[in-house]
Each structure stands twice: as structure tokens, then as C-alpha cells.
Structure 1
């Protein structure tokens, strides 16, 4: 079991703790704040509800979380040390002195700094590399790396294994890449507030209702490439390049962040929040991010490609009671209703993915479908046997009731972690030629594999199968 030391348990440190824990690492935290355990517990609760919901496979078993009384205790035996203390260079150097005293010979320090250069962080000779995340750390994949190339390479391997996407800076700069963009937008927003052009809510609407949605999937340059029409980026630059000389922005000038401007921002932001607490806003943010990221995951665009890449490394398969597990996943918020329960349409989707898992097992995979053959669902019956809440992990087993000729009849059982049966889903599929759109026998290798499963599963109980609607045990 790998072990991570988190030095500093604030918003970022707590997010790191959650990202490591939910990927199966043991985590040791040091933070002198007497409220650190409570605060990290609340961050972890949010992460447990959000991160697993991005995947169609279950994440590893959660690691063990411990809180330590000293930096040395936390660092002892750690495979990874993440420093997330305040942005004061003198404080970080003092912390590095303590970390170095307990660091393994081959170890290094990963800093969550938002803008300090790696060369400044490592000025006293300690092995420090910038590993800059974005909040919430447990959901957003981007990691900016800066420092010695060998350390960046080692750091990249670890963060990739956590489902994150490393971006190594080609040149060392203050504030890196992402924060420089955020700072530019922030400065322009402050001028709009100071000049009375827009409120905090109106500025946020301009981002979240407009270009922010485009940026989430294709960034800046691809967005402008499309804006150029069929002629592409060259056309865009020819049309809009001259605007760079127009007085559209005040990015070279910074408004005085005086008390009046601070009070204006605070007052408008308080009104904009609608009285929601920070934890309520975090949960709303996470729910929205899960829905957006799952949408991107479907097409593999942007951050969705990172999730798919990480998901491919997660274990799948196994058996329960001698039947193959064809789907295992956490229930995302997008599968729940106003009561917080998994809604009935989601059970059908769960059965769909279990059927897809069975198709993979018999060889009716992507390549087979691309060749022009597949199975089409013609009948489904679902029994809802127990309530399921968001975040619960469901494991679905599949029993082949019939596997001959053109027919594949399956009986899925959805189990909760405690072994309770949440639902059964019975489905009948016909093998189809995608060219003629007519039923036909499967290819011999698929037919043989399906027949083997049907024979192995023959004679097993399938309580609830083949009944009419309303039949209950």
C-alpha cells in the first residue's frame, strides 16, 4: 500500500488527501489547526460523493486516513510528500527543513504553490518540485509541474496514476500557466466592478453562460479556430487580429483594491450566493462538475479523455456466487431524483452497461460491432428491490438464461456493498445485422462463447426471472 504525507490540511491539502485516499493510498496529515480533522472530513465527504461518480468502474478500496502530531511523524515512510502550506516562501523553507529531516533518501517534496518558482522553493538545496493542482483537487485533473526534469518525470507518473493530467512547463515562470489566465480575467473583472460596468453576478454569468462552456471542452485556440469558419485559424486572425490594438481591456493596468472596492465585491458576492453556506456551494459545484465531466467523458473531449484513460487502469471483472461481474460502479448524482434515490430510468442504464459487459465477454466488442453485427434489446423487465442512494457502489452479475440461435437472454442482479440485492434486470436481445437491420445468427466464435456461458449457468436459480409485471417473491 502506497503512503502519502499531506503537510497542510486546508482547502488544497484536504483535496489532495481525498484524491489519494479514494485512489487507494494511505494518507497521513499534519496540520496544527485544531479543526483540521473536521475540515478534511467534510472535504472527504464531498469527494466520496463526487469522484467515484465520474467512472463506470469502481475506484480502488479507500486507503486509511491518519492525523499526525508532527511533520516528521507524517513524513516517516511516505512515498509522496505534498506540501500545501501558506504562500510564504520563508514559511515553506522552514517546513522543508523539517520535512527533509524525515524524508527518505530518494524522496522529494511536491509543492502545491500557486505561483512561486521551483528554483526559489529549492533555493536551500531541498528536492522540491512544483505540483500545482486546481480546486477541487479531487475532481479537476490538471496538474502544472515545474522544476528539475527528473523530479517532474517522477511526479508525472504518480499524478497520472491518480487520474490527473500533468502539464510540464517548458520554462519556469511565476504563477505558471493556468493562474496567469485567471489573473488576467480577474484584473479585467475588477475594473468592470470599479467602473460600474457590471456586478459580480453579471460577470460570472458572462463566463458560465458563454465562453466558459466552450473552454471546458476545447480551450482557447480551438474555440478561435472554429470562429474563423471553414478557413480556420488564419481567417480568424485576419478578421480579429487588429482588435489587439484596440482599447478593449485594461490588462496592463490594475485597479486599486481599496476598501470601497472590497466592500462592493463582498456585498455583491454575498447577495449572489443566495445565503448558501460554503459547504452547500461546494456540493453544488461538485454536482455540476460531475455532470459536465461525465458529458465530456462520453465523447472523450478535454478532461473527459483523462477520465477515460484513468478508468482503463481500474480493475474490472471478477465473480459473485460463480457469476461474472459485468458492471461495478458508484451511483452518480445524475442518476438520482429529488429524494436523493437512484431513479428508475438509471436502473435501465445500469442494466444496459451490464449487458454491454456481457457482450464484451462473449466477443461482441467494439471491433465486432464495427464489422457490422451486434445485439439489439427487444424486451426488458426490472424489479426494484431496495433503495439506492447516490455514491453507493453497485456490483452487477449476469446470468445467461438463453444463448442459442439469434437470442441472448440475460438476468442481471445488482448488489450493494453489504451483499443486499438492490434490483434484478431481465433482458432479451436479438443478434442483428447492422447493414440489413434484420435478425441473424451471431458469428461462430460469439455463438460458441455465448453457448458456453449458457451451459455453465444452466440449472442455477433465477428467482424473479420470466415473471409478469407485478409478480413478487
Structure 2
């Protein structure tokens, strides 16, 4: 039987909590007096269904059952976990907790509050030990962090149980050891926000320029290494102590509106350097640099896939390089067209130390995509509703590409007409063919969902190439069936 989560307050945050629990197999009951709550939750849930499963490499559990309660008492009845996400008004939260605890005894009650301390939430409660802060970040169904903040009155076993529940739904519960206004993360956000407002007010930067400074620079580092580990690497081989000695004095400079800073002493340096050694000392600086670099590659490629932020810069750079790589009007007389240059990256390697099977298909896609761009069937063409769809692929693995190998993708047109494109792709390491792929592509009207003739301007580029390639020797592997002997 599925466990039940009760969500009190169905706004953006409450809706995110509902989606996170539902998609991880929990039944969810929502209470929100807003007559639009069901619609709003439905819209958040639709987004979550499209995105959260993409983070998982194993099948998601069967989705739980969503219901909307007419009262708080109905919502929390039989709940195993309760999350309060009502407006940031302390008297309102106190009334909600009182109604919850009139029905639900001993059940963990997390609050999404970004500002109130748990001791403030617990004031006047029938059982303060079950109430604590569980502060998430939007979108709750994707971002894993939830700050778990207890008070001295909290039941530590309830806190541990709540943390385990959050881990089970894919979140990262960060146990905040001492309660403090705004917890941990929002204090950083407030400091950055305040400084950003001054920069705008004083005419130093626009909001766009500030955002670019973050997403093109340190935001990428913070996303995978945080603050102290980033600065540890910046300290070079001497680590955090050297960084503190080099940059610590600037805390006394009047750079910032945030002038209330701790006194810079040897004791403070030793404290932070010691904690940094404990945090990261098992790695050398060189190892941390490699970890950092590989993480950044992952982030940047993800951004590139979405043409967003720093990824757009990479895409624009690729576009310029492709323009210089391919000659205008090239038809490939005398040889297949060279369409792609690649290198085997660490993420392309399987457990045997060879390029993994999926990456041969990726290399083929890079080659065929470059060819489609050459004939004018590019992303603008796709945006107008037409595309070439791959209908069949036959791959032969002829060699073993390894880390660092430079690969070339060539394409030979075997046949082309108004609707069909039959190609033979070779993936080469130097002169050695490590894989060949034979593909049939069909030209499709995407809106109608059926084949149709390609645009005249595409055919005007494609057909001369097909004619030029007609004089090339037909590859021996073309037309082979799986398992056919050499």
C-alpha cells in the first residue's frame, strides 16, 4: 500500500512538493482553499511528469494517487508525512499547525518557510517536537536540496525519519545544526541580491549584465563545487590556507555594501583551513581540478543541448567553425564527403575502455546532421515543419576506438529522390574504418505525420551530390544483413 503525504498549501512550492511525492509513488492529499488550486497543481504536475523521469536511469515507480481535501483535517488523516507551504505569516502557520495536530499525532510536519526559525513555528503548539523546517528550492520536483532545521524542542528521531523520507523521494536533506533566520542558502542569496541591487542602483551594471556575470562565470563553478572547495582550488597547491592569506585582507576593503565582516585573524584562517582540509583533503589539488573540469564539461554540454546560457556560446562557436569547415557548393566528387571531426572523450568510454556502442551512433548522428545542414535541412527547416527521419540503420563495428582517438565521419549518398535519402557513413580513425553505418532517411511533414517531397531548395543541393556520388564504388557492406558472413 502506498504511503500518504499531505500537502497544506498548493502554490508553486506546495505543488512542487505534491509532484515530487506523487512521481515517487506516494499518494498525495492537497488542501488549499484557493478554487484554482486543482488547476495550478495540475499544471505543475504536468511539468514534473515531463522532466523528473529524465533524471532517472531506472524506471520510475507507479505514480501515486492525487486527491484534494475539503479541510486540513481530511488531508492529514492517515498521513505519513505532512508538508506545510502556506503564506509566510506566522499567525497563519500557527493556526495551521493547531489544526494539523488536532488530528495527526506524532507525524512529521515540515514547513517550507524560507525565513522563520523552527522555534518560532513551534510557539504554542500542542506538540512542538514534530514541527521543523524543511525548506526546498523551486522547482521542488527537480532541485534536490531541502534544508532541515530542528530546534532544541524537536524530536531527533522524527527529524531522522523525515530526512530518510526525503532521501527516498530523491532529495538531499541538509541538516542545519543551529537555527538561524533564513537558514543557510537564503542568507547567501540575500547577500548576493542586496549587492546586485546596489550595482543596479548605482548604475554600475544592468540586471542582464549581472545575470551574465553569474551564469557565464562563477555560477557554473558553484553549481558543482560550492564556495569553499572552489576557493580551495583557487589557492593552488597550497590549498585553502594560501587562498585565505592572499585574499583575506580584502575583507577590510570598502568594495561592498556588506561591511559587517568578521575580524581577519590567524585563528579564523586556521579554523577555515582546517575545515577545508577535512572536507577535501583526501584529494590533491590536481585531482580536484580534474573533478571540477569534468563536472563543468557535463554542465556545459547540458546547457548546450538546450541552447541556454553558456551553452548558446558553444553552439554559436560550433556554427562558426562548421561554416569554415564546409565549402559552399561542395558536392563530393571523387570521394565521400568529410562531414564531422570528433575526439573520443572520457564520457564516451565503456567498462572495457573502448568507445561505447551508443557513441558510434552519436558519431553517425553528428555526421548525418552535418550533411543535413549542408543541404539546407537544418534547424530552421525543422522549425518550419519538415525534417528527415531515420527509418533504418545497420551498424558494423570494425575496430575499437579508445580515449583520445580523433575520429572523422564521412558520408556517401547511395540514392536520393524527393522523399528518400539512402546514405553510407564511415567513422574513421586515420585511414582505418572503425565503424560503418547504412541508413535510410525519409523526408517528413512533421505536422501531418507522413512523408512528403523535400523542399526544392533542399533537393537543389542534395541531388547534385547524389549524382556525383553515383560514380563512387558501392561500399561492400551496403545492403548487408545482420549476421551475414564476410
Fold shared per TM-score above 0.5: yes
Q: Equivalents in 2 of 1:55, 1:297: separation in Å?
A: 23
CA deviation vs aligned residue, 1:342-395 (integer Å, no higher than 9, x gap): xxxxxxxxxxxxxxxxxxxxxxx84xx37x999899899x9xxxxxxxxxxxxx
- Rg larger in 1 or in 2? 2
Q: Equivalents in 1 of 2:7, 2:240: separation in Å?
A: 44
Q: Cα distance, 1:160 vs. partner? A: 0.5
Q: Does structure 1 residue 8 correspond to structure 2 residue 15?
A: no
SS at match of 1:102: coil
Q: Cα distance, 1:108 vs. partner? A: 2.1
Q: Does structure 1 residue 109 correspond to structure 2 residue 109?
A: yes
> Over aligned residue pairs, what C-alpha RMSD do you find?
3.8
Summarize the Cα distance change of 1:90–1:132 in structure 2 as closer, same or farther, 3 Å threshold.
same
User: Please, which of 128, 131, 138 is the counterpart of residue 131 of structure 2?
Assistant: 128
Residue in structure 1 matched with residue 170 of structure 2 by the alignment:
163
> In the alignment, is the contact (CA less than 8 A) between 1:26 and 1:65 conserved in 2?
yes
Extract structure 1 runs of 4+ deviating beyond 3 A.
296-304, 332-336, 372-380, 422-435, 466-471
Q: Which runs of 5+ in 2 are unaligned?
A: 261-290, 308-349, 365-389, 406-436, 443-486
Q: Equivalents in 1 of 2:359, 2:207: separation in Å?
A: 50
> In the alignment, is the contact (CA less than 8 A) between 1:93 and 1:121 conserved in 2?
yes
Summarize the Cα distance change of 1:241–1:375 in structure 2 as closer, same or farther, 3 Å threshold.
same
Number of corresponding residues: 305
Residue in structure 1 matched with residue 148 of structure 2 by the alignment:
145
Q: Equivalents in 2 of 1:298, 1:63: separation in Å?
A: 39
Summarize the Cα distance change of 1:214–1:4 in structure 2 as closer, same or farther, 3 Å threshold.
same
Summarize the Cα distance change of 1:467–1:203 in structure 2 as closer, same or farther, 3 Å threshold.
closer
Residue in structure 1 matched with residue 341 of structure 2 by the alignment:
none
Q: Equivalents in 1 of 2:356, 2:200: separation in Å?
A: 58
Q: Equivalents in 1 of 2:47, 2:41: separation in Å?
A: 10
Q: Cα distance, 1:215 vs. partner? A: 0.5
Summarize the Cα distance change of 1:187–1:373 in structure 2 as closer, same or farther, 3 Å threshold.
closer
SS at match of 2:139: coil
Query: For structure 1, which segment, 200-209 or 135-144, has the greater mean C-alpha deviation from structure 2 after superposition?
Result: 200-209
> In the alignment, is the contact (CA less than 8 A) between 2:394 and 2:438 conserved in 1?
no
Q: Cα distance, 1:424 vs. partner? A: 7.5
CA deviation vs aligned residue, 1:154-203 (integer Å, no higher than 9, x gap): 11101101111111011111111101100111111121222222222222
Summarize the Cα distance change of 1:378–1:131 in structure 2 as closer, same or farther, 3 Å threshold.
closer
Q: Where do residues 291-302 of structure 1 align in structure 2 (5 Å cutoff)? A: none
Q: Does structure 1 residue 239 correspond to structure 2 residue 242?
A: no
Q: Does structure 1 residue 100 correspond to structure 2 residue 101?
A: yes
Q: Does structure 1 residue 20 correspond to structure 2 residue 7?
A: no
Q: Equivalents in 2 of 1:8, 1:303: separation in Å?
A: 36
Pick 1 or 2: higher relative contact order, CA cutoff 8 A, min separation 6. Answer: 1
Q: Equivalents in 1 of 2:146, 2:401: separation in Å?
A: 45
Q: Equivalents in 2 of 1:183, 1:468: separation in Å?
A: 55
